Amino acid sequence: MAKCPKCGTDVAKPVKEWDIQPKQKKGPKVHISLYECPGCKTRFREAKRLA
Ligand SMILES: [Zn+2]
């Protein structure tokens, strides 16, 4: 769940999700979620660090 940065609508499901591997092997993996707001059609990403 994420909030649209433009209009504040809660978006329940991401359109797309993927993981990014860090370039340095030591860094944490990052999980990216791409959301599209149903209200204003803004697309925004949310990055989450995986332990
Ligand atoms: Zn919106």
pLDDT tens, residue by residue, 6-40: 999 999 999 999 999 888 878 889 999 999 999 99
Predicted local confidence at residue 24, as pLDDT: 80
Task: Write the CB contacts of 46 (distance below 8 Å, at least 6 apart in sequence).
Answer: 2, 14, 32, 33, 35
Ligand 1 centroid to 7 CA: how many Å?
Answer: 4
Ligand 1 centroid to 47 CA: how many Å?
Answer: 18
Ligand 1 centroid to 42 CA: how many Å?
Answer: 6
Beta strand spans in 1-51 (E): 2-3, 10-11, 16-20, 30-36, 43-49
Q: Distance between CA atoms of 3 and 15, rounded to whole angstroms?
A: 14
Task: Write the CB contacts of 25 (distance below 8 Å, at least 6 apart in sequence).
Answer: none
Please indicate, yes or no, whether the overall pTM of this predicted structure exceeds 0.75: yes
Token representation of residue 12:
């329940």
